[in-house]
Amino acid sequence: MPDYQIVRDDDPRCAELEAAGYRVVAESWAVRLFDPDRELLESAVRRATAGGLTIRELGPESAEVLHELEKANEDDYPYTPATHRVVGELVDTRALWPGNRVFGAFDGNRLVGATVIAEKNGFGDTAFTSVLATHRRRGVAQAVKAASILAFLDIGITRFSTGGAAANQASLRASQSLGYQLTEQWRTYSPE
């Protein structure tokens, strides 16, 4: 097992690790959103619904369809030592409730996208967002994330965070399209 070192890209240790022969094997990012633009969020949801999707919050009765969505997408999640998603079994998906809120996009009766968010240290923190390959690049991720943010705004939470692997630029772009700002970038180093 390599001796991975996960370091912010502005940390002086980056130069030290590189001088010691470590190489970057992965990168990741974090974004934050403060006082979101409600109209921007609502328009993301409207675009998806105008395209025929239904966007709504999911309860625990939706665990099975969420698990199916996640299993379909599991191989598409980038794996890095700093960022990886293990879908697990149906029991693991059921365990998302009640600690999280889940928002989904349906194309007819099929769940095609979802996001999971929870309150963490005063932030609405998105754990993951998942969209079927057939529905990517159509605003589904933006719509479910926007719906989740709107719901948290309604309960007084105005700060939001999420992150991901640099290999998943689509996720970063989806967040930035909703007003998130890049706040941190990380490098994962491994010895040669």
pLDDT band at 53 (very low <50, low <70, confident <90, very high): very high
Average pLDDT score over residue span 102-108: 98
Q: Is it true that the peptide bond before 60 is cis, omega within 30 degrees of 0?
A: no
> Which tokens belong to 154?
């309604």
Name the DSSP class of 81: S
Report the run of H or E that residue 135 belongs to, with start and end: none
**What is the CATH number assigned to the segment(s) 5-191?**
3.40.630.30
Give percent above pLDDT 90 in the chain: 90
Report the run of H or E that residue 130 belongs to, with start and end: strand 123-131
pLDDT above 80 for 2:
no
pLDDT above 80 for 1:
no
Domain ranges of the chain: 5-191
> Which tokens belong to 170?
């689509």
Q: Which alpha helices (DSSP H) does the chain contain, by range?
A: 13-19, 38-50, 63-73, 90-94, 140-153, 169-177
Is-contact 146 178, C-beta < 8 A?
Answer: yes
Residue 71's pLDDT is what? 96
The model carries a pTM of: 0.92
Cα–Cα distances in angstroms (integers) from residue 108 to residues 54, 65, 154, in the given order: 8, 13, 27
More confident residue, 189 or 84: 189
91-99 CB contacts, 8 Å cutoff, 24+ apart: 93/63, 93/64, 93/66, 93/67, 94/60, 94/63, 96/63, 96/66, 97/59, 97/60, 97/63, 98/60
Is-contact 58 103, C-beta < 8 A?
Answer: yes
Average pLDDT score over residue span 58-86: 92
Name the DSSP class of 104: E
Residue 79's pLDDT is what? 86
